[in-house]
Structure 1
C-alpha cells in the first residue's frame, strides 16, 4: 500500500453543497474516457450517466442513509454510500478518483465504512451489489472478505438513470461480508 496516498484523509458526511463535486467524481470513476485512467471503469459495458444530482441528493437526505465523503488537502477524492437496513448496512456509490486508484485508498475507505456501519448502527453484515460482468471488481471485494451469494437481480434496462448498457445479459450479484 502506498502510505503517502492514504495519509491526510478526512471523512465526513456529504452536504447539499457537495453534490456537483460528488457527481463529477462518480462519473469520472466509472464512465467515459476519464474513467480509463483507473481500473474501476465501466465504460466498456455501460455508457451514459452513472448518477445524477437528484440521485446524490436523495442519498444525502434519506433517513438512515449517509454519503461518506473522503477529502485530502480540502479536495474530495472518494465517496461511498452507507444505508442502514435493519441488521445490515448497504454499501454503494463507491468511487475513488481515477488518478488515485491502485494506491490503497479503496482499502482504507471500505474499512472505515465497515467500521462506521458496525459502530454507528450495530450492523453485523455489509451488503452490496456488483455487476457480474465486473469479475476484477468482484475479486477485489472477495480479497476484502466479501463473499458471492449467487443471488442476482436484473440490470434496470431502459432506465437511463443507471446508464445505457452496451451488451445484453447484465445483472447484479449480492455480495455480503460479516462485520466482526
Structure 2
C-alpha cells in the first residue's frame, strides 16, 4: 500500500498496554508498566507489526499514561519505556497523554487528539487508517478521528462482547488476528 493520490498514507494506530505489551496487575486491576523492567512485549507483536509494515502502513502508538500526572511515574521513566518499546518493535512514532481525567485535555482517549496530532505530523489518510485497542475508549477515539477500529477481546473490557454497540469492525482475541483482518480487508470504508 502506498500514498494515495492526495499524498497521504494509511496508518494503524495502536494502543500500548494490553495491545503491544502486557498489562501489569495492581490491586486486581490492569495497569501500565511504571518501570522499564515491567515492560513485557506481547509475543505476537513483532510478527503482527512486521506484517503491517510489509503492507505499507505507518505504525503509530497512542497511549494514555496518567501515572505521570498522578506522580506515580516520572516522565523520564515513561520516555525510557517508550525507547525500549521502539527498540523492540518497528513503530514509527509514539505519543502519550500524561494527563488525568480532571485535566479535560484534548489528547486523553477517548478524545482523538493524539491521533489527529500524529495524522498531521505524518501525513496520514484517516479514512484509510485503523485503530487497534483493548478498551472501549480506544474504539471511541478511533471512531472520533475517522478510523476503522478493531477491539482486542480482554476480560477486563466490559464492552468486548458488544461489537454493534461499540461500532468496532471486529472483536478479536489477539493482535495478530487484528492484523490479518486489516491486511485481508485494507479498503474497508470507515463508515459503519
TM-score bracket, normalised by the shorter chain, equals 0.3 to 0.5
TM-score, normalising length from structure 1?
0.34
